[in-house]
Amino acid sequence: MPIETAEPIIQMRHVDKHYGQLHVLRDINLDVQKGEVVVLIGPSGSGKSTLCRTINRLETIDSGEILFEGKPLPQEGKELAALRAEIGMVFQSFNLFAHKTILDNVTMGPVEVLHRNRKDAEAEAMELLARVGVEAQAQKVPAQLSGGQQQRVAIARSLAMHPKAMLFDEPTSALDPEMINEVLEVMVELAQEGMTMVVVTHEMNFARRVSNRVVFMADGQIVEQNTPDEFFDHPQSARAKDFLDSIKGH
């Protein structure tokens, strides 16, 4: 199901990045359309997480440019913070604020960044928590929740900011197998509602079922990209074929 609108919300142009000697991103060119779900896959160390994190500038880049809604990413300060407020991010290790209750985790952004009044923020937070199925845990602290519950809270926390796009950096990689699906289900729902999503994942079923496009990376480069059916059934490059062979049976 390719997106036809051709209204790019994220544009990456000739993006390069090094970690010392290591060339982690090599001449990355990638457009993400509004409402599109793009899945980044590739072997460990291929740069897919780094790419994902450059989009809200958690990682800086050496050269090239990244545009969000047609404007270059601000480099620092209030402008950068304002941009980040428009892009949701879900981390591998959840990163819920450990000293805050679940409810306070979800209201933190709306209250502190969007300056909404606490009552309204809490009402909406409870709705979001109900939507991801953890409203009963609202008064607990993160450490009292299972990994799957924590990750669903993290998604609710991002949604509370009404983001224009969401980044998922290996959202299920730190979860026990039985908790992966509860998180993926929430993500599937989001995708169906038309959220723009960039997802770094090893969940090939999710990629196949939900994404509009699969981007395969290796050694810091985008090796190939295609619709999920085409990519999984007819990979073009040797790297992609090897990768898909190596994960078969999972």
Partner 1 sequence: MSANISMRDALYEAPGPKTQRRVRIGTAISLVLLVAFIAFVIRQFYINDQLNPKYWSFFARWTTWRFLLKGFIGTIKVAFAAGIIAMALGLLLMLGRISPNKVLSATCHVITDLFRSLPSLLLIYFFFLVIPKYGIRMPAFWMITVPVALAASGVLAEVFRAGVNAVPKGQVEAAMSLGMTHGKITRKIVLPQALRIVIPSLVSQLVVVVKDTTVAYVVSYPDLMQNARVLISNYDALVSMYFVVALIYIAINYATNQFSVYLAERSGTQVLSRVDENPV
| Residues lying near partner 1 in the complex (CB under 8 A) | 44-45, 48-49, 56, 58, 77-78, 81-89, 91-99, 108-109, 112-113, 141-144, 154, 157-158, 161, 167, 170, 174
Give the nearer residue to partner 1 in terms of CB position, either 49 or 226. Answer: 49
Give the nearer residue to partner 1 in terms of CB position, either 78 or 248. Answer: 78
Tell me which residue has tokens 């209201």: 107
Distance CA 131, CA 182 (A): 12
- Range 203-239 burial, b when 16+ CB lie within 10 A, else e: bbebbbebbbbbbbbbebbbbbbbebeebbeebeeeb
**Please, what is the minimum distance in Å from the beta carbon of residue 1 to partner 1?**
28
Give the nearer residue to partner 1 in terms of CB position, either 165 or 184. Answer: 165
**Please, what is the minimum distance in Å from the beta carbon of residue 244 to partner 1?**
19
Q: Give the DSSP H/E element, type plus range, for residue 131.
A: helix 118-131
**Burial of 92 per CB tally in 10 Å (0-12, 13-18, 19+):** middle
**Please, what is the minimum distance in Å from the beta carbon of residue 238 to partner 1?**
23
**Please, what is the minimum distance in Å from the beta carbon of residue 234 to partner 1?**
27
Kindly list the strands in the beta sheet with 87-90, ordered across the sheet, starting from the edge strand earlier in the chain.
Answer: 87-90, 165-169, 197-200, 37-41, 213-218, 221-226
**Please, what is the minimum distance in Å from the beta carbon of residue 197 to partner 1?**
15
Give the nearer residue to partner 1 in terms of CB position, either 58 or 126. Answer: 58
**Please, what is the minimum distance in Å from the beta carbon of residue 84 to partner 1?**
4
Distance CA 205, CA 19 (A): 32
Give the nearer residue to partner 1 in terms of CB position, either 151 or 225. Answer: 151
Give the nearer residue to partner 1 in terms of CB position, either 3 or 141. Answer: 141
Query: Do 166 and 71 form a contact (C-beta atoms < 8 A)?
Result: no
